[in-house]
Amino acid sequence: MSLSHLDEQGRARMVDVSSKDRVRRSARASATILMQEETLRLIREGLLKKGDAFAVARVAGIAAAKRTAELIPLCHNIRIDHVSVDLDLQQDGVHIEAAAVCTESTGIEMEALTAAAVAALTLYDMCKAVDRKMKIVDIQWTTTPERRISSRRM
């Protein structure tokens, strides 16, 4: 198996996508941040001193997706048509799902992954004063079938 970001001599390179057609592409990525029950309660009841953790994490994830090419050295700078970040309180933490759509000659999975990861990091930052035992786990992506992606509200 060859890696597309390495040339014949094994040096890093940006993949040439200039001959590929622009098509609609979408991706979903998720992350989970595990936290203590008391931390979840503070989020649920809106009692964190830093404010609405979900609103801040959602905006941070969307902003991060838009700057992915600045963060990942060999990632193409693409025009993003849509990004959503959904957060779901669960028994042991928060599940984050990011979705992204573009019409480009390369995929958008890195943008979805970046959105999910930065949303999780933002939640960590918002909650670290009350819970230093949080863990960010299971950052992963999957492509999505062609369809309109809508953002759920928390």
Give catalytic residues, as residue numbers. 125
* CA–CA gap between residue 141 and residue 10 (Å, rounded): 26
* CA–CA gap between residue 62 and residue 51 (Å, rounded): 18
Nearest to 77 by CA among 86, 95, 65, 87: 65
* CA–CA gap between residue 47 and residue 54 (Å, rounded): 12
* CA–CA gap between residue 79 and residue 111 (Å, rounded): 11
Nearest to 29 by CA among 57, 65, 3, 54: 65
